[in-house]
Structure 1
Amino acid sequence: MIRRTLERTGGVQWLVNRELIPESLGMLMIHELSGGSVLPEHSLPGAESVTFLLSGKGDWRANGRTWRLTPGEGVFNSPGTRRAFETEHGQDTMLLVVYGGTNDPRDAKPHEAHSAGGGCRISRTADQGSHSPLGEAGGFIDMGVHWLATSQTVGTRSVVVATSTFTPGGSHQLHRHPNADEFFLVLQGGGEHLTKEGPVRLNPGDLAYIPAGEWHGFQTDPGVTTRTVYGYLGAGSLAQAGYELLEEET
């Protein structure tokens, strides 16, 4: 497990890229924009991405369409999507940007006429009941999930983004994903990231990055509700990522 902490930089903070983690199956960054500023129109032909608002407000434009975004909302951009973002005046904005695919997002280029990807607002599909992906897999207590960007909701190929809420007493026992890396960012609350070697403390603004195949879990603090945004890199769904629970020793 690799631990990072969000910082207020007034610009870009890379949490995961191939210089920091050469074997990573995707890339992850925080982009902080001051109120009234503009992220100019650009495209990235070889990579798909999900942009998730952590704070602030603004207007997202993609291929001629505009969406008003507030915290907890976001957009999916398939490869080649022309996209731009303008923050609301007086509202500093922090974006979490998750990249999948083969291109390095730092190679993004200005708008070109032949860019043809499509953007869309990500949905909020509740993961509830025994027929849901996690409901069928098991291994958790008092944890609710909303799937935002998956192959089923918006057609992703190499990235998944979701939010989770652990109510007091909530936990997710040790498990692993053989085919995908996972990122897990605490937005509110806090608790212990679980590993086979022992727990690691996670507070709001802390991110755990878990390489494919590594055992991990989470236990929220007593009496505390913990909210997170998390996802997989290298897969478009939980089924593609794979899900294995660690069998308890008897």
Structure 2
Amino acid sequence: MPLVSTFELLVNPIAPTDNLGNLPPDVVQKLGKVARRVVQGYFLTIANTTDAPARLRLEFTATTPELNLVDTVTIRDVLGNNEFSELIPVPGNPKRFTFNVGIPANDTALITLLPDLQNVDLFTGAKNLEIRGYVSISRATIAGPAYELLVTPEHRGTFLPKNIDDSVPDFDQIAYALPTASGGSLVRLPSLVRPPVVTSQPGEPNTVEDSQEVLSLMAQRIEELEQRLANV
């Protein structure tokens, strides 16, 4: 399962306004005015450059702090319309979540993982959010053709004003690309169709071994099915 990049979700003030020691009151007041809150999300553009539709699975892993469904929302944009949904917990591992996406041949998709500002505590500042982790990508189905994908991960953030009720609220935005695990944008997912038996000489079959990718994916799917059956 190829790694894509890291990710970081944020709903945090950009500067501390407490425990400022012996700073003069006017300095504390100025810091309080500029201590805007940043809301940052993870954006992943995936281009399917093959001539067949791609069924893909993203896996998000975050341990400290843990990724969770209460504070996050996921958006899929394939046909120019935003589809809101949630990550799917990996059975038996609450710190890992998956998200499936289908991309037509020679088309692109945008997957976005964001802090859920419908959680009032995040929006009002009663709670800070900082979740860091990493993303990997694989096939959503065992059988199928090989895929060649171009992936572009990035962070995008918005700086919220200290007082949103101001007559002229001060909003700013930031966006920056993230390095990929491979150092490039191209991700190849090999075909998982078992290749035919090749014979080098009559009567002497040369069996081509299953790839590690096939075995790993099959083991993962079996583990998920076992966990789901155990919870029934």
Bin for the TM-score computed over the shorter chain: under 0.3
What TM-score do the two structures reach when normalised by structure 2? Answer: 0.27
Per residue, is there more strand in 1 or in 2? 1
Per residue, is there more helix in 1 or in 2? 2
Larger radius of gyration: 2
